[in-house]
A and B are shown apart, each in its own frame.
Chain A
């Protein structure tokens, strides 16, 4: 029993965080917003980091890592509000294809040459696919109606929900950071507004929500990786807590920004809108609560102090 990440996992995560912080700041999001939403150079950078092949087995040209590493990187994608379809293709589609034994596209995916937007019956559309375009509130999310019926495979749903949860905790972290930094520099009544307890306490509540959402996400990643019977419940747990933490933080962050928060000029809106989108994707709150309900009240899952890791 050791609920910590390995040094390798932490080093990988930090390198991706640093890379995205250095190459993918808010100014990039603004440029993309004005110039077509996608930039091959950004995608190429992710490919060169090896991220498209993170979960591709080594014999197919990937790094052969697992869902815990992918969840850590997905959180960094959320933190950077990355618009490129890395998570959907590399962290959702790849493990699904591997599970199904469909290995033909893996080398091309690892090389960054193929996107695999997978539709699920719970998502009536996909991001970065081809078809009838739809406009998302998230200006950087390229949605299209998917022409055929989606899959109803629960493993695909679990992968999508897990990786959405991971992005949501990263998004929440970033929004809290933005709100805190703004509260330090915006002065009113002769002092930074962040010195007022009315704001401090709201921001502290966000920190609490995020702190206790993250371990649920990591636990779900490990559970799905291990393939235990209860993994789906833990994915739902992650989705509910991460989604709640992100929405609370989004609403708090806009409040802390005051009228500036209501403008297109402040960066926050990119992160907030992504949070809204991911909160509903891959099973919304009600759907995941229902699954927890069946396990906890329905009795399929053993509960109580001795069943922490059931």
Chain B
């Protein structure tokens, strides 16, 4: 165990810090969940790419820097230290990118990864359907083979970024006689294809981040299928693993929140409750624990290890931690918590963050599903209904 950074890692941190501080937007961007904010965030993706910071762990040939996971964590720490915006491109770089890296052909890697790293193509995900939420194997949207195309018909919902994004990915039923996990295929599609209708969904905060997608005989070339027909479930599980596991929510994001929470508490120390004080301490305790665990997982992967169902432990921890920290901030703010803008005109980011944090235990597989996964696959308890 060596918990110190090498001189090279320290130099890398200094390089990241200098670049981010010089380029990070001076004012917080408008929320990603509206047209104006989306465009601002995409512009930021392209600024990042101009410095070759789009996704540092990817090979240089695909627009990355070929760096290791410790360097990625250092990048993320500096990114959130500087208050870097949420990544418009997270579905691409954190979820689909690693999936293509693992399952894609050389042609697919060359075609999809560089524009993803450059922020030129923003990706939406299309997992859930009206009848397939937590129970994703209940997917019904069909992709019927017709020559060298699939013809997609059906409906997806809660598609993150789909209101404004360029491309989407999801799994579709290619074998009409199949049931549950079999007969599904992972397909990438242009969201502007003829036959796709997007209906933005107004979210809790009033803005539109995700959307319903209606597919009416949408023709998609077969070369857009990842890992072969019928392999969709396995590929989707790998993507979900990336989502719940290491990449989607790096510790820096939560450490930055914890730091802001400590500062908020100090400013309201006189009137805040003892319970709030302990919650603020828990914010540091838990974000640090999350960071250590992430470093341990990164070290394991760098040494050739893998993570499987452990990703579910992660997802529960960060999502419930994020909600706890924002709830605490709301309690410290007291009567001011309800204001969308404070008296000085500043946006109440704790309120926005609290609302967003309520989605954490739901998206990427609800925490109830995660607890089932932990119980069944890590602890070895019998599956529901087993006798």
Q: Which residues of chain A have a CB within 8 Å of any CB of chain B?
A: 1-6, 9, 68, 176, 180, 183-184, 190-192, 194-195, 197, 199-201, 203-205, 207-208, 211-213, 215-216, 218-219, 222-223, 237, 240-241, 289, 292-293, 296-297, 303-309
Q: B237: CB under 8 A from chain A?
A: no
Residue interface bits B1-36, CB-to-A below 8 A is 1, else 0: 111111001000100010000000000000000000
- Asked if B386 lies at the interface with its beta carbon under 8 angstroms from chain A, I say yes
Q: In the bound complex, what is the Cα–Cα distance between A203 and B291 (angstroms)?
A: 23
CA distance A240 to B375 in the complex (A): 25
Taking CB as reference atom, which chain B residue is nearest A195?
B382
Inter-chain contact A297/B281, CB cutoff 8 Å: yes
A-chain residues with CB within 8 Å of residue B258 when the two chains form the complex: 303-304
Chain B: minimal CB distance from A248 (Å): 13
The 3 closest A-B pairs by CB, nearest first: A200-B375, A305-B252, A215-B292
Contact residues in B for A292 (Cβ distance below 8 Å): 281, 284-285
Q: B365 to nearest A CB, angstroms?
A: 13
Residues A240 and B293 in contact in the complex (CB < 8 Å), given A4-B303, A184-B380, A304-B256:
no
B243 within 8 A of A: no
Of the candidates A9, A191, A208, A219, which one forms a contact with B382 in the assembled complex, judged by CB atoms under 8 Å apart? A191
Q: A212-B290, A304-B81 are in contact. Are A3 and B313 (CB under 8 A)?
A: no
A305 pairs with B76, CB closer than 8 A: yes
Beyond the given A203-B374, A303-B259, could you list 17 further A-B residue pairs with CB under 8 A, ordered by the A residue number?
Answer: A4-B300, A192-B386, A195-B381, A204-B370, A204-B371, A204-B375, A207-B379, A208-B313, A211-B317, A215-B295, A216-B288, A237-B289, A289-B278, A292-B281, A303-B262, A304-B81, A306-B13
Residue B116 at the chain A interface, CB threshold 8 Å: no
| A–B Cβ pairs within 8 angstroms, 24 of them | A1-B5, A180-B379, A184-B380, A191-B385, A192-B382, A192-B386, A194-B381, A197-B375, A200-B372, A203-B374, A212-B290, A213-B289, A215-B295, A237-B285, A241-B285, A296-B281, A297-B265, A297-B269, A297-B277, A303-B258, A304-B256, A305-B80, A308-B288, A308-B292
Q: Which of B70, B262, B290 interacts with A297 by CB under 8 Å?
A: B262
The docked-state distance in angstroms from the alpha carbon of A199 to that of B10 is: 46
Q: Min CB distance, B19 to chain A, in Å?
A: 14
- Residue B49 at the A interface, CB < 8 A? no
Contacts A1-B2, A195-B386, A297-B262; A203 near B293 (Cβ below 8 A) = no
Are A303 and B255 interface neighbours, CB within 8 A?
Answer: yes
Q: Which residue of A lies closest to B9 (CB)?
A: A1
Tell yes or no: B362 within 8 A of A by CB. Answer: no
Q: How far is the CA of A201 from the CA of B376 in the complex (A)?
A: 10
Which has the most chain B C-beta neighbours within 10 Å: A1, A199, A208?
Answer: A1
| B387 at interface, CB cutoff 8 A | yes
The residue of chain A having its C-beta at the shortest distance from the C-beta of B6 within the complex is A1
Binding site secondary structure of chain A: helix
Give the chain A neighbours of B300 by CB distance below 8 A. 4
- Asked if B313 and A207 sit within 8 Å, CB to CB, the answer is yes
Q: Is the CB of A3 within 8 A of B292?
A: yes
**Which B residues lie within 8 Å of A2 (CB)?**
1-2, 299
Closest Cβ of chain A to B113, distance in Å, is 27
Specify which of A197, A218, A222, A308 is in contact with B255 (CB 8 Å cutoff): A308
For B277, what are the chain A residues with a Cβ–Cβ distance below 8 Å? 293, 297
Residues of B near A199 (CB, < 8 A) are 381
Question: Which of B5, B70, B255, B310 meets A304, CB within 8 Å?
Answer: B255
Number of A-B residue pairs having CB atoms within 8 Å of each other in the complex: 179
Which of A192, A207, A304 counts the most chain B CB atoms within 10 A?
A304
Question: Taking the complex as formed, is B89 at the interface, i.e. its CB lies under 8 A from any CB of chain A?
Answer: no
Enumerate B342-387 residues with CB–CB distance to A below 8 Å. Answer: 368, 370-372, 374-376, 378-387
B109 to chain A, nearest CB (A): 29
Per the bound structure, the CA–CA distance linking A307 and B3 in Å amounts to: 12
Given contact pairs A180-B381, A303-B258, A208 touches B317 in the complex (Cβ within 8 A) = yes
B280 sits at the interface (CB 8 A): yes
What's the least CB distance linking A99 to chain B, in Å? Answer: 21
Q: Is the CB–CB distance between A184 and B255 below 8 Å?
A: no
Partner of B381 from A183, A216, A219, A222 at Cβ < 8 Å: A183
Compute how far the CA of A195 lies from the CA of B280 in the bound complex, rounded to whole angstroms. 36
Question: Are B385's CB and A195's CB within 8 A?
Answer: yes
Interface residue? B111 (CB, 8 A): no
Interface check B286, CB cutoff 8 A: yes
Rounded to whole angstroms, the CA-CA distance of A183 and B288 in the bound complex is 33
Q: Which residues of A contact B330 (CB under 8 A)?
A: none
> In the assembled complex, which residues on chain B have CB atoms less than 8 Å from the CB atom of A68?
1
* Known contacts A197-B384, A207-B378, A303-B255; is-contact A4 B296 (Cβ 8 Å): yes
A303–B303 Cα gap in the complex (Å)? Answer: 29
Contact B299 A305 (CB under 8 A): no
B316 at the interface (CB under 8 A from A): yes
Nearest B-chain residue to A6, judged by Cβ: B1
The chain A residue sitting closest to B76, CB to CB, is A305
**Is B230 engaged at the interface, CB distance under 8 Å to the other chain?**
no
Are A191 and B386 in contact (CB-based, < 8 A)? yes
Contacts of B296 in A (CB 8 A): 3-4, 215, 218
Q: Which residues of A contact B341 (CB under 8 A)?
A: none
**Closest partner residue, chain A, to B385 (CB atom):** A195
B77 within 8 A of partner (CB): yes
Q: Which residue of A lies closest to B384 (CB)?
A: A195
- The answer to whether residues A306 and B2 also contact, given A3-B299, A192-B382 and a CB cut-off of 8 A, is no
Q: Does B251 contact A (CB under 8 A)?
A: yes
B179 at the interface (CB under 8 A from A): no
